[in-house]
Each structure stands twice: as structure tokens, then as C-alpha cells.
Structure 1
Amino acid sequence: MKSVEPVELDPAVEALLDDFAQHLTKERGCSAHTVRAYTGDLTQLFGHLARTDGPPPGQATLRDLRTWLANQHATGADRSTLQRRAAAVRTFFAWAEHTGRITTDPARGLRSPKVDRRLPPTLEIDHARRVLDDLAAAAAAAEDPAERAAALRDSAILEVLYSTGIRVSELCGLDLSDQDTERELLRVLGKGGKQRVVPLGGPARRSLDAWLGVRELLAAPGAGSAIFVGDRGGRIDPRVVRRIVHRALARIPEAPDLGPHGLRHAMATHLLEGGADLRSVQELLGHSSLATTQLYTHVTTERLRKAYQQAHPRA
């Protein structure tokens, strides 16, 4: 996508964006990532209006918004980006109207292109088993206490991600008090501040217990009650978890190069292939819409089709 020279926004517009960011954070419970993305999208929109001698934000029309999105498409933005930017604009103007900052919401009729729902790559069950067994073996073979602690942590991270299907941000946010050891459950704080409970499989529970038994070897005072800590002793960062997952999968030549979200895909796909119902998988993943979870039915259907074509003599 072509870069565009930034435009310095009017202080009143900057203040408006700050108020909107506060609304997203405090009232809607949006993540820092979503707040940055939405305010960045709106900064681009308001910069476009200023650059093209368009109206101020409070006087923008539906035509102005459509022109901006069309310009984004022409300069290379993909469909998923356009969809997010349209969502940011709709959310902003609905909030502005609701709070009396504008009299009419110009984005009420704004539509965005449908996103291509590609089948996400996933692990085969055998690959998942080999990755997890390999990590457990590496932890058992480590002789240095600190190295063994790090290996047990890495093993527990992948076991928990694959067992529960939680997001990497949810894993990093886990505290010791989020465990229900008696019923083998974890309490997870998901998107929008919504809490849910997910079951923890036997291997994941044992792996987590083994890590917690040596956690004090890596944890620094600043870690607080975090379940998982990084090599420097603080609460583990999502970027570190991604490196751990990529490194673990790289040890299995046949396994695809996936991050933590790939383990989430694998968990959902393997559950559906094993006979789990769609509503249960939706609840486990914390999806607000069943349509999002239905993507995994396409994954399992595609895998069945390929197996049929490979095995049936008259496929």
C-alpha cells in the first residue's frame, strides 16, 4: 500500500480522538490493540478530509466516508483492513451522535466488503502430539535447574494453548488465582472484559503443575501472581510466547509454522472432528458470534473431502 504524507490534525480533532479512545477503553472494554487500530484508522480518515479540503469530522457525509474507503482500496488496502476501518468509522460516529457531538450519524449506511474466509492452516493431531511429547522430553533431559524450569514453562504454555484454545493475550493474563484445581478449570478474561471458564485436559494440568513447581526459579518480584513469566522474571509477553511456539513447531519438520493462534485453530478443528457440537466450541473459544466458529466446520469439511478424494476408488 502506498504511503501518504501525514497531516497535522486540528487540536480539537485530536481531543475528540482522545475522548473516543477513552470511551473504547473504559466503556467498551476494548484491548489496547483495538484502540490503537481504531484511532489510527480515524486519524487516516481525518487526515484525508483535511488533505482534500473536505469538511471537518462533525460535518462529514456518507459520500465523504465512501470516497475515503474507495481511496483506501485503490491504494492497496485488503478487504480485512477495509472492513476494520469501516467498523472504526461506524463505531466513532455512532458514539459521537449518542454523546451529542454531532446531530446525525453519517456512517449509519456505510457498508464494507465481505472478508474472504480462508481456511486457516492447522496442525494434524499426530503433529500436535509429537510437538508436545518433544517438549516434555526436552524438559526431562535438561540438567541445569534454570534451563529445566524454562523448558517446563514452554511445555506448559503449549499444552495449555492446545488444551484450552485460549488466545495468547488471555494466556499471558492468567493469574495463579484463575485456577480451579479441584475441577481442573481455568478462568479466562477475554475480549471486551468478558470472563469465561475453560476445562484443562489431564496432560495440560500435569504440565502446568510441573511448571508451577519450579516457577520460583524464574519469577522475579515484579511477576506478581502471573502464572507464566518470561526469562527476565516478569509476566510473560505475547511476543515471547509466539517465539516459544514457533520454536517448538520448528523442531517437527512436517509441522506447519504456526503461532499461538494456530494452536487455537487446531484445538477447535480437532474438537469438531471428534464430535463436539458447534455451540460448545463457540463457548470454549469465547466467540461472540456463532458465524466465527462456523469457519471451523469448513475446515473439517475440507479435510473430509480431501480424505475422500484420496481414498475412494471413484472419487
Structure 2
Amino acid sequence: MELFFKYLQYEKRFSPHTLLSYQTDLQQFQEYLKEVYELENVNEVTHDIIRSWVVALVQKDLDSRTIHRKIASLRSYFRFQVKQGVVETNPTLRIKAPKLAKKLPAFIPEDDFTKLLDKIEFTDDLKGQREVVILELLYGTGMRLAELTGIQLSDVNLAAKTLKVLGKGNKERILPLNGSLQLALAKYIQLRTAAFPNNNSTFLLVTDKGAPLYPKFVYRVVKKYISMVSTSAKNSPHVLRHSFATHLLNRGADLGAIKDLLGHASLAATQVYTHNSIEKLKAVFEKAHPKA
């Protein structure tokens, strides 16, 4: 199993977050084998054992997406074991996952987020401007949380109005900076340099002590400000990514361009945002068309 995780990390280049999910899923499956079947070796499992595990997950009322991910983790593991010649066949091949409930991406209405950035007064010190940059980067570029915390100072090109980010699978992409984001970054970098003149950290976003920013820090900032303009229970950094894509699509942006900005591997992943736009089109039609 250790060899499998090294394969995911170094060959497949999975993110630390995804790698941890796979490790957790396989560890839980191992525990299930020991507890229910008194099996120590994962490679001894059969199709029926895996099917019973899936049934047990469903009975726990786990979210269907979580169950899909756990099955995918196991399927990937056994595919690797077949490739290595450890097992002859993949026992997950005939496993059917429960149907996924269709969920539209949660997003903040455009007017609400504009109100947040325009009307809330952020302090002019490092703390206040860091919060501005966090919100502006997430909403202004649609980047992921891991991409945000990984930005290096050298990745920012204010003269060219661009920003380089390292996405999933270590794929780099260049993102454009809008005017307000460019100004926010320039102001923050100036304050950061003045506050930590001898800091050797290469990361753009740092804590009050000059250490690289961590995910929970970003979560707290985003939750604090989204709750000011939205009553939605969903207020994670990813909601700003969804809002970025939905607002672009609502304003007529090309789906292929949005795909490239988000760093999606395929257009299928981006097409989920069209559902939100279609709902908006229906509302406009029903309000404006004489036959509606």
C-alpha cells in the first residue's frame, strides 16, 4: 500500500489533500475487513466483500459523493495491484456506486459580493489588506484554496497584470489580474515587505508572524465576510470559485475560456455551471416574454 501512495504522489502527482483522502478511504476499508471478515490482507478481498462494504456505507447515510470517492480510491488501488502483478483481477470492476444526487454549485449573487467588496471598509494595515487580497484573489481569478496558499512572490507580475498558479497535477496556468486586484496586490506586497524586511519566505500570503498562510486561516477570513452578505450555510473558499465561474457565464463568457481559467482538465467539469445560468435564463424568460 505504501508503494501505491508513492505512485499517487510522484507519478500521478496527486495533491496532498487528495492523497490524504485516498489514505483515509483505504485505511477505513482495512478496518472494515478486520472487524467484519477478520482479514488482514486487502489483496484477499472479493467482489462480494467490497459490495458488502458499499452497502454498509449506504446504511450509514453517507453522502453519495463520499461513497463514490471511496469506491474510486479502492478501484484505483486494485488497478495498481493488477498492474504490479500482485492480483490477477480487479474485484471492483462490477461494483456499482449509488446514484449521485444532482447538486448545483453554491454561489453568491453578483450584487451581494459587489456590495461586500465596495461597501465594507477594510483596515489599511497588513491584516486588513491581506483579507482584501484573499477575497479578491479567490473571486477575481477563481483559483482553488491550495493554489492560493501556494502562490510565490515571484508568481505575481504586476506589470503584465498576470499571476502564475500551480494547479492539480502540478500544471501551471497564467491568470489575468483585474484592475482592483492589481492595486490590492501592489498595496499588500508593499506592506508585507515593510513588515518583514528580513523574511526569507517566498510565499505571497503570510501570517502576522511571517509564516506561510494555511488553509484554516483562509477559511476563517472567507466565512467572516461571506456571512456578512449571505445567509447561505455554504461559505467556504470554493463558493467564491463557483461564484466566479457562474458570474462569468451569466455575463456571456465562453465556456471554454472559463474552463481554462478554472484549470479544469475537461469541459465536462465546467458544464455544471451552465445549470445555474439556465435557471437565470428561465427566470428572465418568464418575466419578460409575453407567452411565458
Could you tell me the TM-score, scaled by structure 1's length?
0.85
The change in CA–CA distance for 1:26 and 1:167 in structure 2 (over 3 A counts) is same
Note the 1:44-63 alignment, pairs <5 A: 44-53=28-37, 56-63=41-48
State the match for 1:246 in structure 2.
223
Asked whether the equivalents of residues 46 and 57 of structure 1 are also in contact (C-alpha less than 8 Å), the reply is yes
Q: Distance in 2 between matches of 1:284 and 1:132?
A: 22
Q: Bigger shift: 148-157 or 49-58?
A: 49-58
Unaligned runs of 5+ in 1: 1-15, 143-147
Residues 1:124 and 2:109 are matched in the alignment: yes
Residues 1:32 and 2:34 are matched in the alignment: no
Of 57, 60, 72, which residue of structure 2 is paired with 1:75? 60
Of 216, 237, 242, which residue of structure 2 is paired with 1:260? 237
Note the 1:87-166 alignment, pairs <5 A: 87-135=72-120, 137-139=121-123, 142=124, 148-166=125-143
Q: Distance in 2 between matches of 1:233 and 1:284?
A: 30
Amino acid of the structure 1 residue aligned with 2:63: D
State the match for 1:291 in structure 2.
268
Q: Distance in 1 between matches of 2:148 and 2:83?
A: 35
Q: Distance in 1 between matches of 2:197 and 2:221?
A: 20
Of 146, 166, 173, which residue of structure 2 is paired with 1:169? 146
Question: Deviation of residue 166 (structure 1)?
Answer: 0.1
Amino acid of the structure 2 residue aligned with 1:44: Q
State the match for 2:254 in structure 1.
277
Asked whether the equivalents of residues 227 and 235 of structure 2 are also in contact (C-alpha less than 8 Å), the reply is no
Q: Distance in 2 between matches of 1:288 and 1:219?
A: 38
Q: Distance in 2 between matches of 1:298 and 1:277?
A: 15
Q: State the Cα deviation string for residues 153-205 of structure 1 (Å, max 9, x = none).
A: 11111111111000111011000111233321111111121211111111111
Once superposed, what is the RMSD of the aligned Cα atoms? 2.2
Question: Deviation of residue 87 (structure 1)?
Answer: 0.5
The change in CA–CA distance for 1:215 and 1:66 in structure 2 (over 3 A counts) is same
Of 263, 275, 279, which residue of structure 2 is paired with 1:302? 279
Note the 1:195-234 alignment, pairs <5 A: 195-219=172-196, 224-234=201-211
Amino acid of the structure 2 residue aligned with 1:98: K
Instruction: Flag the structure with more relative contact order, 1 or 2, with Cα contacts below 8 A and sequence separation at least 6.
Output: 2
The change in CA–CA distance for 1:57 and 1:309 in structure 2 (over 3 A counts) is same
Amino acid of the structure 2 residue aligned with 1:175: Q
Q: State the Cα deviation string for residues 111-141 of structure 1 (Å, max 9, x = none).
A: 3234223122212222121111235x323xx
Q: Distance in 2 between matches of 1:79 and 1:86?
A: 11
SS of alignment partner, residue 213 of structure 1: helix
Amino acid of the structure 1 residue aligned with 2:261: L
Question: Deviation of residue 252 (structure 1)?
Answer: 3.3
Asked whether the equivalents of residues 112 and 230 of structure 2 are also in contact (C-alpha less than 8 Å), the reply is no
Question: Deviation of residue 30 (structure 1)?
Answer: 1.2
Question: Deviation of residue 313 (structure 1)?
Answer: 6.4
Q: Bigger shift: 184-193 or 252-261?
A: 252-261
Asked whether the equivalents of residues 130 and 188 of structure 2 are also in contact (C-alpha less than 8 Å), the reply is yes
- What fraction of aligned residue pairs are identical, expressed as a percent? 33
Q: Distance in 1 between matches of 2:116 and 2:152?
A: 25
SS of alignment partner, residue 272 of structure 2: helix
Unaligned runs of 5+ in 2: none
Q: How many residues align?
A: 291
Question: Deviation of residue 219 (structure 1)?
Answer: 4.2
Could you tell me the TM-score, scaled by structure 2's length?
0.91
Q: Distance in 2 between matches of 1:223 and 1:158?
A: 25
Q: Bigger shift: 91-100 or 179-188?
A: 179-188
The change in CA–CA distance for 1:52 and 1:222 in structure 2 (over 3 A counts) is farther
